[in-house]
Structure 1
Amino acid sequence: MKEFIFFLLVAANVLWGQNHPSKKMILHKTDELIRIDGKIEYAWSQADSSTDFVQFSPFHGKTPSVKTTVRLLATDDALFCLFVCQQKKEDIQRLTGVLDNFTGDAVSLMLDTFGNRRTAYKFAVSASGVRSDCLLLDDARDRDYNWDGIWFAQSKIYDWGYVVEIKIPFKSIQFTRGLDEWGLDFDRWVSSEKEDIYWCIYEENEGQRISKFGRLVFDNFKITTKSAHLEIYPVGITKVSYLSQKNYEVNPDFGLDVLFNPSEKINFQLTANPDFAQIEADPYEFNISRYESYFAERRPFFIEGNEIFKAAGRQRHSGFYRPLELFYSRRIGKKLPDGSEVPLLFGAKASGRIAPYEYGAFLALTGEAEYESDGEKQTEERAAFGSVRLKRQILNNSSVGLLIVNKSTSHENNGVIDVDGAFRGASWQLAYQLARSYKNNSGDFAASAGFTRLSKRWLALMRTRYVGENFDVDGVGFVPWRGTGELIAITGPRWYFPEGDISSILFYGGGILNYEKVDAFTDRGGLLGFNMQFRSNWGGEMTFVIANSKDENIRYQFYQANANSWFNISPDWFANFYVNFSKTYNFSRDYLAFYASGGGFFRWNVIEQLQVGTSVNFFVEGNKDNEIEEVTFNSRPFLSLTPVNNLNVRLYFDNVGFRSTKRFEQTIFGLLFSYNFSPKSWIYLAINEIRDCSNEYDSLGQLLPTQLHVVDRAGVLKIKYLYYF
């Protein structure tokens, strides 16, 4: 029996263990003052340093074309980092930008302060001094750019290159107390060479992994500063709404946001009289399926810190598997059929870590709202929304979690209980999810799972999903596919080339099963695909699908062909495009026909302070006679001016037109002024105007000629200031 137990322990170590990181830096403590100004001071001579970087791309494993030196120091209350980046001055791309939104040459510092080899902070700074930060999640498979920390950085450009200095107060980040080392890595993007270099070495097929970070070893000292601070944000808001002609309604208001971190193990976020207004309108969505469209959350209160409520398994570089979204915050304060919104009265969140656990809780209260639908008056009841989340790390780099989400009104309880998790190795992941919904006394089950293995020579992907017919989470989540099941499996060879113009080639094929109870049929099909990426930073992919299908009692041969490509071959512009052609059932028109779509996106850095670009999409619907029924066109051109860092003016137009009318049927004009004048302190001015060709009447009630006219116009001025204790 002892021998058997010993065998299991050895097998588990082989299966779950990771290579022990070999790179190491020593963190020395200093009492000297370090100014964050991009100048190299004498104090930095006390710091440990490293120049041992290696290319991840375009030539994996090769020596970088430029030299990078990094140094780290600590004081009683902060960590300091210095990057010295050698490069020809004329080759440095130094564009202005705002927090979490910049392009050009940049460096990054990454810290696993929890010691779990699964989660890390990333602090990035461009050559022009623009900051970006995020959380690396699930061994760097996913990222959360909604996290914003309080830290400081400055850059300075010299004839021989540029320097970046970073200061991170210990109290502004969470960490596991008592550790004598943290996980560590550095990154640098060299725009002129399209070169991505890291301090740590990663496999090309895997990408970055926190489990393979190097070590930052504390030199005979412990961090004594408590990760405790208080952030208070008074928020002043003024809304101007269009009523008719020259009539407007002005509504000044005031709100208060509070973020309190009593320790490194927990933080609280409260908001009183919140403004949850969305700054920018949703992009146009064209949908011919039988299911509702999904729109991403854009309201700051809901997206900040929401990673704790996500089910395990998301991967940033692959949208192949997405777990069921059981907490869909756009159900809270939602838009009603007449365009009005449900008022939000109060919101609160709490989250934290007590190794090996992570936990979170959420509460929001909404008020009663009256609205009109199909000419009848309706009432949206007052409601309380709540969620509780608990996750535990297991087997070094894997996790298991519990999620409960609930909406309560005077007449109904609607919610879900979910168990999810993921088993992970460096090159593979198996994610799973099992959920039970409830709506008063009824409910049903749903489940999903996804497997990915990305070896050096072979790719294998599988995902499956089952949603019971009575699985109803419409009040809290986004799972519209009731009474369905799905299974997709893909595999194929992949080649990496260390030299030459082509960096990788992938062929893949697989099978598809898709069951919908409403049709009492299981679609069966197969797919083939081809992907090629070039070392000059562009690539393309083609996919072909064929299946025996049934919709609305019509059996038919479904087929689809897709092609897409992306181009990032110049530091000054970026572009991508796609085309799609299929034979499928059009649920918006209720018949079987061909369907085609295409489009792309283009962005150009005109000068260091100005970007212009546009997205363009077209949708072609066929009819039963195999002729074109309608062509819908949508474009969203924009202009983004950033005269200095952290101050931006953005203009955009969203246009929708139809071939049948030979005109634009709707246009949305948007202007957004934003100024990040201090850490986590902003001034916003947003103006949105919607015009369409709906019926318009004069003062006598007579119908006017059809033309674009204003149906809504609104402006919001919002000032948010951080008091930091």
Structure 2
Amino acid sequence: MGLLHFAGMAQSDTRPELSAGVLNTPIKLDGLLDETDWESAPVAGAFLTIEPVEKGVPSAQTRVRVLANARTVVIGIECRGQTPEDLVRFSKLRDADISEEDHVKVVLDPFMDGQSGFIFAVNAYGARYDALVSNRGESENKDWDAVWDARIALIDDGWSVEIILPIQSISYKKGSDTWGFNVERRIQRNLETIRWANVQRDQFFGQTSRAGLLTALPEFNFGLGLNVRPSLVGDLHKIGPEDSADFNFEASLDASQRISPNVLATLTVNTDFAETEVDTRQTNLTRFPLFFPEKRTFFLEGADIFEFGFGTGSNTVLPFFSRRIGLVDNTEVPILAGVKLNGRIGKTAFGGLGMGTREVVTEDNTIEASQMGVMRVRHNVLNESSVGVIASIGDPLNRSGSWMSGGDFTYQTTRFNGDKNFIAGVWGLYTQREDLTDDTSAFGFKIDYPNDRWDVAMTYSRIGEQFDPSLGFVSRKGVHYSRLGATFAPRPEWPWVRQMFNELFLTYVRNISGPWQSYSVFTAPINWRLESGDRLEGNIRPVGENILVPFEIADNVVIPEGEYHFMRYRLEAEFAAKRRLNGQVSWWFGTFYDGRLDEIELQLNWNPAPLLGFELSALRNIGSLPWGDFEQTLAGLRVRFNVNSNLQLNSYLQYDTESRTLGLNARIHWIFSPLGDVFLVINHNTFNDLNNTWTLQNEQILLKIRYNFRL
């Protein structure tokens, strides 16, 4: 079937176009596209499949329309060809993983720079998901949230959705009547993905340089551009079984002023993160620090601008890691105030952040008040590439003389050899502080060919022995880090296998002023994704570790100095998410240092009813070493009561045998308006001593109310 043409849409070789209709009267947000404005709006319906066949004919029809006026953009999507029984839908939670459910996803590029964008998705239950385009389209920052709303409706032969986006919720290029625009639909029962534009497996949906065009947009007006969001927090807490309960009542304020359509200034005072979900616990069988992602709203606005250096990351270096602000060794440090300025002018994106924290006195030490700042500028060059600088000043522990600066250049094209992805980047950083002396620099590069059939990458980083940016994250210091990886992913014409991933990843780490530190050869002779949606994988991984300083891997189990070479194996099975009961089981086994280690991990999701969902995660480590045996267990159970997309009750119970702490985090989140919500949070932690006696560590009840006043 050839490409369809509807009024208002012209198909070119690379970028189809859809004209926006005029929003004359307010839309009743009910998921039904039955208002008069919808009837006269141009329609895009020329969708083609990405999966299971590239540029194939979809099994069902999809129609997209857009309406806009000076203050609002409304997107309407009709997903036909399904009965309610055909729909795979479980989630109602905001920002849930809906990738394996029936859903639609929209990407917008209001700057037309091909390197940034906003993503909005809705599943067939009305669960909303939003994200920033990250890493130039290769990934998404799902922790970002915006003010918008959506409703779905079941229609005769499918479902439809209305998405309403206030123009004040996003930044955009002033005076432009054209945005980058694309729509993707997932038909989960058939494991089918279809797109309107960029219908190529080698290209990611978030690569806005390949998106279609949304044209005929009006001259937008964001009003005064002022957002004032006060919050009130009541905190009843108790520490230890003997202490009496204390009650605190505090107010905080977040305010933002849109200086122009593409520049936003933000102020936060007495910042509170009471609603932030607790971290998921991790076990650590290495001698290096663990990485936990940022979840706090204030730091996530404009987070894509602060991304630095192709080839940096949690495995090597993050020059700006916002969790360094307000958190010191898992101790919360109150933020007195902060300001942020971020935006885009022409081809230049910029962001600046300044924060001040209060003094905190703990049983062990005193964390002094401090002031910190970060600046990032990135300029787009060569259509899809960029060059930039980053700098920071200040230290969370108020150590004097702390600063860092660096630069990066990334070359990217989605038209390598015609229509393939190719990325290459270099970066360099230098930091200083009074307690640092020599070798405080870091630099590296990465070359990547990330495509559907072949994905090949080479990464190198040199991290100085005293490279320790106060506001950054460094997993290893004083090393040369090298990694070479390749994935060959053919799609055999077998009736039960959709794609095979043959993987080989070589990692080698050598000390700058000494011998080698570690190596790993990760192979996947079997990693098959089946037509059913299930996946089977088997891995072989030779590993080497050169221990120069003994370290404790578990309680009273110390790995001594020496060179160790061992073999690890893994068997893994993943069960398709289209089923009400799904999940993944993984078993690593084999030699480990001079002994043996079994790592058994289970993730299980059960959705017995639309109202209720269970997520079980469990990890069991059983080690037998010459220096001692150890067993570690980590278990978590999340229970979700999904009343609707605006009201959820989530409880998360965690226990691990290392800390012997049982923790409960329960959250009720009621979004009573797109501009306002309420959180009720209960935290309860108890400790199990060696006599198997449970003792209260702390308990807390938090009530937070916030509302966004927009002018």
- With normalisation by structure 2, the TM-score equals 0.88
Query: Aligned equivalents of 1:594 and 1:228: distance in 2?
Result: 65
Match of 1:27 in 2: 20
1:714 equivalent to 2:700? Answer yes
In structure 2, the partner of 1:576 is 584
Q: Is the 8 A contact 1:559 1:583 kept in 2?
A: yes
Q: Secondary structure, in 3 states, of the residue corresponding to 2:446?
A: strand
Task: Tell whether 2:654 aligns with 1:649.
Answer: no
Query: 1:273, 1:630 → 2: CA distance?
Result: 44
Q: Deviations over 1:276-330 (max 9, x none)?
A: 3464332222113222222222333223332222214379xxx9x9662121222
> Do residues 232 (structure 1) and 228 (structure 2) align?
yes
- The alignment status of 1:635 with 2:635, answered yes or no, reads yes
Q: CA RMSD in A?
A: 2.7
**Cα distance in 1, alignment partners of residues 94 and 59 from structure 2:** 28
Q: Closer, same or farther in 2 for the Cα pair 1:680/1:583, shift >3 Å?
A: farther
Q: Which residue of 2 aligns with 1:16?
A: none
Specify the SS of the correspondent of 2:318: coil
Alignment of 1:133-172 (within 5 A): 133-172=130-169
Match of 1:129 in 2: 126
Distance change in 2, residues 1:442/1:368 (3 Å): same
Partners in 1 of 2:623 and 2:430 — Cα distance?
38
Q: Distance in 1 between matches of 2:122 and 2:577?
A: 22
Q: Secondary structure at the match of 1:496?
A: coil
Are 2:209 and 1:211 equivalent residues in the alignment? Answer: yes
The answer on 1:364 being equivalent to 2:355 is: yes
| Deviation sequence 1:93-150 (CA, Å, 0-9, x none) | 4546132226442222322111112222222222233322222234421212233223
Q: Partner residue of 2:665?
A: 670
Equivalence for 1:92: 87
Corresponding residue SS for 1:90: helix
Post-superposition CA distance 1:256-283 (Å, at most 9, x none): 1112212112111111111134643322
Q: Secondary structure at the match of 1:290?
A: coil
In 2, the alpha carbon distance for the partners of 1:446 and 1:329 equals 19
Contact 1:156 1:162 in 2 (8 A): yes
Distance in structure 1 (CA, Å) of the matches to 2:423 and 2:218: 35
Contact between 1:96 and 1:644, CA under 8 Å: does it hold in 2? no
Letter in 2 for 1:462: M
Secondary structure of the equivalent of 1:117? Answer: coil
* Alpha-carbon distance in 1 for matches of 2:512, 2:590: 23
Is 1:611 paired with 2:608?
no
Matching residue within 51, 54, 58 for 1:57: 51
Letter in 1 for 2:547: D
Deviations 1:558-612 (Å, cap 9, x if unpaired)? 3332343322252423312222235455xxxxxx543331202111111011101
The Cα of 1:395 is off from its aligned counterpart by: 1.0
Aligned residues: 672
Q: Give the residue type in structure 2 aligned to 1:439.
A: R
1:262 to 259, 270, 275: 259
Cα distance, 1:358 vs structure 2: 0.4
Deviation at 1:525, TM superposition (A): 5.9
- Which among 477, 480, 493 is matched to residue 482 of structure 1? 477
Report deviation, 1:547: 5.0
* Aligned AA (2:103): A
CA drift at 1:435 = 0.7
Q: Could you tell me how far apart the structure 1 residues matched to 2:260 and 2:225 are?
A: 8
CA separation of 1:328 and 1:99: change in aligned 2, threshold 3 A: same
Tell me the distance in 1 between the aligned counterparts of 2:222 and 2:112: 17
Within the candidate set 62, 74, 78, 1:80 is matched to: 74
Amino acid at match of 2:653: F
Q: Does 1:561 align with 2:569?
A: yes
Aligned partners of 1:519 and 1:550 also within 8 Å = no
Separation of aligned partners in 2, 1:109 and 1:93: 19
Q: Deviations over 1:470-526 (max 9, x none)?
A: 1122x3111141111111212353312466221212323354321135763354664
Amino acid in the other structure paired with 2:612: L
Quote the offset at 1:33 in angstroms. 4.4
The corresponding residue for 2:117 is: 120
- 2:289 aligned residue: 292
Cα 1:255–1:480, aligned 2, differ >3 Å: closer, same or farther?
A: same
* Residue 538 (structure 1) aligned with residue 525 (structure 2): no
Paired residue secondary structure (2:182): strand
For 2:610, the aligned partner's letter is E
Cα distance, 1:268–1:573 mapped onto 2, change above 3 Å: farther
SS at match of 2:489: strand
Q: C-alpha distance in 2, partners of 1:644/1:508?
A: 41
Please tell me whether residue 463 in structure 1 is matched to residue 459 in structure 2: yes
| Map of 2:29 onto structure 1 | 36
> Could you say what secondary structure the match of 1:44 adopts?
helix
Aligned-partner Cα distance in 1 for 2:578–2:393: 49
Matched-pair contact (CA < 8 Å) for 2:49–2:199: no
Name the aligned partner's letter for residue 286 of structure 1. T
- Runs of 5+ in structure 1 lacking a partner? 1-18, 586-591, 659-663, 696-704
* Residues 257-336 of structure 1: pairs in structure 2 closer than 5 A: 257-277=254-274, 279-313=276-310, 324-335=317-328
C-alpha distance after superposition, 1:395-424 (max 9, x if no partner)? 111112211122157651223212123211
Label 1:609 to 1:96 Cα distance change in 2 as closer, same or farther (>3 A): farther
Query: Which residue of the other structure, out of 245, 250, 266, is the alignment partner of 1:253?
Result: 250
Task: Note the C-alpha offset of 1:674.
Answer: 1.0
Alpha carbons 1:227, 1:261 under 8 Å: kept? no
**Separation (CA, whole Å) in 1 of partners of 2:49 and 2:450:** 20
Structure 2 Cα separation of the partners of residues 685 and 429 of structure 1: 45
Does structure 2 conserve the Cα–Cα contact (< 8 Å) formed by 1:692 and 1:708?
A: yes
1:407-422 maps to which residues of 2 (within 5 A)?
407-408=394-395, 412-422=400-410
Q: Is the 8 A contact 1:21 1:215 kept in 2?
A: no
Structure 1 residues 688 and 49, CA gap change in structure 2 (3 angstroms): same
Separation in 2, partners of 1:451, 1:382: 42
Question: SS in structure 1 opposite 2:376?
Answer: strand
Following the alignment from structure 1 to structure 2, what is the Cα–Cα distance between the partners of residues 525 and 614?
A: 30
Percent identical among aligned pairs is: 22
Deviations 1:518-558 (A, max 9, x none): 76335466443232222222223333232554213412323
Q: Does 1:350 align with 2:351?
A: no
Q: Deviations over 1:208-235 (max 9, x none)?
A: 23222112221xx742424752111111
- Does the residue aligned with 1:45 lie in a helix, a strand or coil? helix
Match status 1:449 vs 2:445: yes
Structure 2 letter corresponding to 1:417: S
- Matching residue of 1:15: none
| 1:191 correspondence with 2:179 | no
More displaced 10-residue stretch of structure 1: 606-615 or 141-150: 141-150
The one of 472, 477, 486 aligned to 2:468:
472
Structure 1 contact 227–263 (Cα < 8 Å) conserved: no
- Kept in 2, the 8 Å contact 1:170–1:227? The answer is no
Mapped to 1, the partners of 2:331 and 2:468 lie a distance apart of 24
* 1:493 lines up with 2:493 in the alignment: no
Distance, in Å, in 1 between the alignment partners of 2:454 and 2:405 is 36
User: What CA distance in whole angstroms lies between the structure 1 residues aligned with 2:675 and 2:429?
Assistant: 37
Residues 401, 421 of structure 1: 8 Å contact kept: yes
Kindly indicate whether the alpha-carbon contact (under 8 Å) linking 1:95 and 1:102 is maintained by their aligned counterparts in 2.
Answer: no
Mean Cα deviation higher: 221-230 or 135-144: 221-230
Q: Distance in 1 between matches of 2:257 and 2:265?
A: 5
Distance 1:472 1:138 in 2: 24
What is the letter of the counterpart of residue 453 of structure 1? Answer: Y
Q: Is the 8 A contact 1:59 1:499 kept in 2?
A: no
Q: Distance in 2 between matches of 1:32 and 1:205?
A: 41
Q: What is the letter of the counterpart of residue 275 of structure 1? A: D
Alignment partner of 1:390 out of 354, 377, 383: 377
Aligned partners of 1:111 and 1:120 also within 8 Å: yes
Matched-pair contact (CA < 8 Å) for 2:634–2:654: yes
Between the aligned partners of 2:162 and 2:52, the Cα distance in structure 1 is 27
